Structure 1
Amino acid sequence: MSLKPLGDKVVIKVKEEEVTTSSGIVLPGSAQEKPQQGTVVAVGSGEIVDGKKVPLDVKEGDEVIYSKYAGSEVKVGEEEFLILKQSDILAIVE
């Protein structure tokens, strides 16, 4: 099964990071704040602006930074993804 976002939606694989505290304790991703960086795995067909379809600015494979509490979390099999609007993406990491 795969996800195909509609319109101006984007599917992101959230970047999971383990952090080690100064005392050497490893914090798993679940014990940290919600990450704000991930990889675009699928994009919608485009946004409707003034009756015309405009392609999205991001593409599959882009590393992006997005708004902290944006989108909806979705689990497909064992993998977790985030579906959000392109407008919730703040920057492409180059």
Structure 2
Amino acid sequence: MKLVPLSDRVVLKQCEAEETTKSGIILTSSAQEKPQEAEVIAVGPGGMVDGKEVTMQVKTGQKVIYSKYAGTEVKLDGEEYIIVRQSDILAVVE
């Protein structure tokens, strides 16, 4: 199956959480903070959203940082994805 976002939605795959701190301390899974960095898997077509024209500014394959509590988590074929609005994406990581 394939996720195809509608309107100004973007499908993201979250990057792996850090398992050790910079000083070398190993974190348990419950202590790991959920990363806000993700890879763009699919991008909607944009168009008219709430009466305004929306042009999509992200592309498939880019790494982005998104809002902490944004989006809807979806599990498909054993993989976890997050579907967010383009406005919930804060920055592109280059």
Q: Shorter chain as normaliser: what TM range?
A: 0.7 to 0.9
Deviation at 1:48, TM superposition (A): 1.2
Partner of 2:33: 33
- Stretches of structure 2 that go unaligned for 5 or more consecutive residues are none
Matched, 1:9 2:13: no
Q: Which structure has the highest strand share of the two?
A: 1
| Residue type of the alignment partner of 2:41 | V
Structure 1 residues 55 and 77, CA gap change in structure 2 (3 angstroms) = same
C-alpha RMSD over aligned residues: 2.2
Partner of 1:72: 72
Q: Distance in 2 between matches of 1:43 and 1:55?
A: 11
1:19 is paired with a residue whose SS is coil
The percentage of counterpart residues that share the same residue type is: 60
Query: Is the contact between residue 43 and residue 60 of structure 2 (CA under 8 Å) also seen in structure 1?
Result: yes
Query: Is the contact between residue 62 and residue 92 of structure 1 (CA under 8 Å) also seen in structure 2?
Result: yes
Deviation at 1:34, TM superposition (A): 2.3
| Residue type of the alignment partner of 2:63 | E
Deviation at 1:51, TM superposition (A): 5.8
Query: Is the contact between residue 18 and residue 27 of structure 1 (CA under 8 Å) also seen in structure 2?
Result: no
How many positions carry a matched residue from both structures?
A: 93
1:27 is paired with a residue whose SS is coil
1:42-94 CA-to-partner distances (Å, cap 9, x unmatched) read 00011416867543000100100000010000000110000000000000001
